[in-house]
Amino acid sequence: MDESKVQKIYRTIMLILITVLLTATITTLLVYNKITNTTDIRTIISSGDNSGLELTLSKIRTLLEDKYIGTIDDKKMIEGAIKGYVAGLEDKYAEYYTPSEMSDELDEAYGNYVGIGINMLVNKDTGKIIVTEPMKDSPAEKAGIKSGDIIAKVDGEEVTTENISDMTNKIKGEEGTKVNLEIKREEETLNIEVERKRIVVSHIESKMLEDKIGYISILDFDGGVAEEFKTKYNELKKQGITSLIIDIRDNGGGVVDEAIYILELLSKRKDTLLITVDKNGKEEITKCKVDPEITMPVVLVVNEYSASASEILAGALQDNDRAKIVGVKTYGKGVIQTLIKLSDGSGLKMTTEEYCTPNRNKINKVGITPDYVVELPEDIQELGGKDDTQLQKAIELLK
pLDDT of residue 164: 84
Residue 127 banded pLDDT, cuts 50, 70, 90: confident
- Residues 6 or more apart whose CB falls under 8 angstroms from that of 76 comprise none
For 368-380, the pLDDT digits (tens) are: 999 999 999 988 8
Residue 55 banded pLDDT, cuts 50, 70, 90: confident
pLDDT of residue 35: 30
pLDDT of 202 higher than 80: no
Q: Known catalytic residue: 362?
A: no
Residue 47 banded pLDDT, cuts 50, 70, 90: very low
For 180-196, the pLDDT digits (tens) are: 999 999 899 999 999 99
d(CA 246, CA 217): 6
Q: Residue 214's CB: how many other CB atoms inside 10 A?
A: 25
pLDDT of 169 higher than 70: yes
For 58-96, the pLDDT digits (tens) are: 788 889 999 999 999 988 888 888 888 899 899 989 999
pLDDT of residue 174: 84
pLDDT of residue 380: 87
pLDDT of 39 higher than 90: no
Q: Known catalytic residue: 279?
A: no
| Average pLDDT, integer, range 351-365 | 96
pLDDT of 6 higher than 80: no
Query: What is the pLDDT of the chain when averaged over all its residues?
Result: 85
pLDDT of residue 11: 54
| Average pLDDT, integer, range 151-179 | 89
Of the residues 319, 324, 349, 393, which is catalytic? 319
Of the residues 333, 346, 388, 393, which is catalytic? 333
Q: Which domains does the chain have, with CATH numbers?
A: 3-87 (no CATH), 112-199 (2.30.42.10), 202-398 (3.90.226.10)
Q: Known catalytic residue: 308?
A: yes
DSSP string, 52-71: GHHHHHHHHHHHHHHH--S-
Of the residues 58, 138, 206, 308, which is catalytic? 308
pLDDT of residue 29: 28
Dihedral class, residue 90 (left if φ above 0, else alpha if ψ from -120 to 50, else beta): left
Q: How many helices (H) and strands (E) does the chain have?
A: 12, 19
Q: Residue 14's CB: how many other CB atoms inside 10 A?
A: 16
Q: Are 342 and 82 in contact (CB under 8 A)?
A: no
| Residue of 107 and 147 predicted with greater confidence | 147
**What's the 3-state SS for the chain?**
CCHHHHHHHHHHHHHHHHHHHHHCCHHHHHHHCCCCCCCCHHHHHHHCCHHHHHHHHHHHHHHHHHHCCCCCCHHHHHHHHHHHHHHCCCCCCCEEECHHHHHHHHHHHCCEEEECCEEEEEECCCCEEEEEEECCCCHHHHHCCCCCCEEEEECCEECCCCCHHHHHHHHHCCCCCEEEEEEEECCEEEEEEEECEEEECCCEEEEECHHHEEEEEECCECCCHHHHHHHHHHHHHHCCCCEEEEECCCCCCECHHHHHHHHHHHCCCCCEEEEEECCCCCEEEEECCCCCCCCCCEEEEECCCCCCHHHHHHHHHHHCCCCEEEECCCCCCCEEEEEEECCCCCEEEEEEEEEECCCCCECCCCCCCCCEECCCCCCCCCCCCCCCHHHHHHHHHHC
Residue 51 banded pLDDT, cuts 50, 70, 90: low
pLDDT of 45 higher than 50: no
| Average pLDDT, integer, range 282-293 | 97
pLDDT of 226 higher than 70: yes
How much of the chain, in percent, has pLDDT values that exceed 90? 61
For the ranges 44-53, 221-230, 361-370, 373-382, which has the lowest average pLDDT? 44-53
Residue 301 banded pLDDT, cuts 50, 70, 90: very high
Q: Are 254 and 228 in contact (CB under 8 A)?
A: no
Task: Provide the whole-model pTM.
Answer: 0.68
pLDDT of 44 higher than 70: no
d(CA 143, CA 139): 6
